[in-house]
A and B are shown apart, each in its own frame.
Chain A
Amino acid sequence: MEQLIIFIALIVLGYTAGTIAERNHYKSIKTREHKLLSLPACTIKNALYNDAQVDKAHLVSGSVVVSVDYFKRFLAGLRNLLGGELVSYETLLDRARREAVLRMKEAAKGADIIISLRIETSSIGQSANRRQSLGSIEAIAYGTAVTYKKVNEIPGKRT
C-alpha cells in the first residue's frame, strides 16, 4: 500500500516537475536561438564563399546532460513492453540537442559561421540503462568556428 502511494506520488511529482522544467527550458531555448540567429551553424565542409578569406578557425563544442523525469521513464517502460514510438523521450532528446548547439554557439562568440557541425548523443554513466536508475543523456555538438577577414583586411580590396 505504502509502495503504491509512494509510486503515485513519484509519478505526479515527476509529471509536474518535468512539465514545468520542460516548458521553461523550451522558453529559454527559443529566446537564445533567436538571439544567436546571426551565427549560423551548418554541416557543409567548405566555408568560403565568393572571395571571402578565413581569418581564424577553431574547434568549438557545447555539451549538456539532461535527465528524464520519473513519469516519462515509467511511460517509456510501458512502451518497452508493447513496442512502438517512444514519444515520451522525444522532447528530452530534442531539448538536449538544441541546448548543446546553443552552448556551442555561445562558445563561438565573434565567429561568422560554424561549419562541419556534428551532434552526438550518449546515455550517461554505466548505470544509464540499468534497472533502478534514472536515464540521463548527454548531447554534444561540435564544429569549426570560422571568422572571415574583414573586407578592409583583404589585400587589394581596399576601396
Chain B
Amino acid sequence: MRYRAKELKQNVNVSRTSPIKELFILLGGVLGILIAVYAALGFAVDLVVPKLPSSIEQSLGRLYSGIYDDTDETPAEAQLQKILDRLSAASGDTEIKYKVHIVLNPQANALALPGGNIIVFSRLIEETASENELAFVLAHELGHFANRDHLRGLGRGLVLLTISAALLGADSSATNFIMNSLQNVEMKFSQRQEQAADLWALDLLNKTYGHVGGATDFFEHMSKNDKRGRIRYYFATHPHPENRIRVLRKNILKKAYLEKEKTALDRPLSKLVTTPGRTN
C-alpha cells in the first residue's frame, strides 16, 4: 500500500453561515431578553418605591449620607438652608427635614440623596446670580424627593449592577456593549424624571415667591457654558438645557405664571463657599 494525499474538496469543519446574519440574530436575542428583564425589574422597583416607609428611607439616608450629618453648618449653607426651608414649607411637606450641604466640586450640579439630603456643588453657587435661580435648583431636587426619584435611581442602579454582575466573566466587548445599551434605556427613564422634577420645581417656585422669575436662569448659564452638541445629550442622564428651557417656557405660558423682579442674594455666596476639609 502506498499512501496518497488527496486534495480537500469540501471542508466539513467550517459551517457555511453568514456571520452578519448571526450577529443580528444573537444581538436581537440577547438585547431583547435583557431589556425585558431590566424593564420588568425596574417596573418592580417603581412599584415598591412609593410604598417604602419613610423610616426605612431615613435609615438608608443615614447609611448614604451620614458623613454630611456630622459637619458644622457653614454661613453659606445656613443661607441656602433658609431658602430650602421656605420652599419645603410652601410645598406642604413637613414630614422630612431636608438639609442642604455644600461640597467643593468644579461641576455646576446638585443632587438628592436618600434621607432628605441635598448636595450642592460649590461651582453651582458661584454661577448663580439670584436667590430665585438657586431656589429653582433646590426646588428641582425637592421635586426628585417628591417623586421618589432618588430611591428609584438607587433601585434601578441595583438592577443594572445585578445584570452586569451576572454577565461578568463573559466576553468583555459583548458585555460592555450590552451594558451600554441598558444604560441608554436607563437614561431615557432618567430624562423623563428630570423633566418631571423641573415642572414640579416651577410650580413650587410660583407657590413660594408668587412668580417664577429666574426659573430658567440656571439652564441658560449651563447651555452657555456647555458647547456639547444635541446628539450627545441624547445619551445623557439629563435633557439638553435648551430643551429644558423650552419646556419650562411653554409651561410658564400655559399656566400663566408671572415673572417679577428677582431677589438678590443676601451676601455674595461664592465668598462663603470655601471651607477647608470639605472636598469630596
Contacts and interface: CB of A to CB of B under 8 A. Distances in A.
Interface of A: 1, 3-4, 7, 10, 15, 33-34, 37-42, 44, 49, 70-82, 85, 87-88, 90-91, 93-94, 113, 131-132
A40 B14 contact: no
B172 interface: yes
Contacts of B173: 7, 10, 70, 73-74, 77
Binding site secondary structure of chain B: helix
Given A1-B232, A85-B15, A113 B174 contact: no
Contact of A72 (B4, B5, B19, B235): B19
A1 B234 contact: yes
Contacts of A37: 5, 7
Contacts of B8: 33
A42 B22 CA distance: 36
Interface in B11-67: 11, 13-15, 17, 19-20, 22-23, 26-27, 29-30
A78 B30 contact: yes
Interface of B: 1-5, 7-8, 11, 13-15, 17, 19-20, 22-23, 26-27, 29-30, 167, 170-177, 180, 231-232, 234-235
Contacts of B234: 1
A15 B170 CA distance: 21
A33 B177 contact: no
Contacts of A41: 5
B167 A81 contact: yes
A77 B171 contact: yes
A33 B14 contact: no
Nearest to B16: A87
Contacts of A1: 231-232, 234-235
Contacts of A33: 7-8
Given A39-B5, A74-B177, 10 more contacts: A1-B235, A75-B26, A76-B171, A77-B170, A78-B171, A81-B30, A81-B167, A81-B174, A90-B15, A94-B14
A42 B20 CA distance: 37
Contacts of B5: 37-41
Given A4-B180, A41-B5, A82 B174 contact: no
A7 B177 contact: yes
B2 A49 contact: yes
B43 to A, nearest CB: 23
B167 A87 contact: no
A87 B17 contact: yes
B170 A87 contact: no
Nearest to B166: A81
A94 B13 contact: yes
A72 B14 CA distance: 14
Given A75-B22, A87-B17, A90-B13, A131 B172 contact: yes
Contacts of B15: 85, 87, 90
Contacts of A132: 172
Contacts of A34: 7
B23 A75 contact: yes
Contacts of A76: 171
A7 B171 CA distance: 14
Interface centre among B13, B19, B173 (most CB of A within 10 A): B173
B169 to A, nearest CB: 8
Contacts of A113: 3
A89 B26 CA distance: 15
B171 A80 contact: yes
Closest 8 CB pairs of A and B: A77-B171, A77-B174, A40-B5, A78-B26, A131-B172, A1-B235, A87-B15, A132-B172
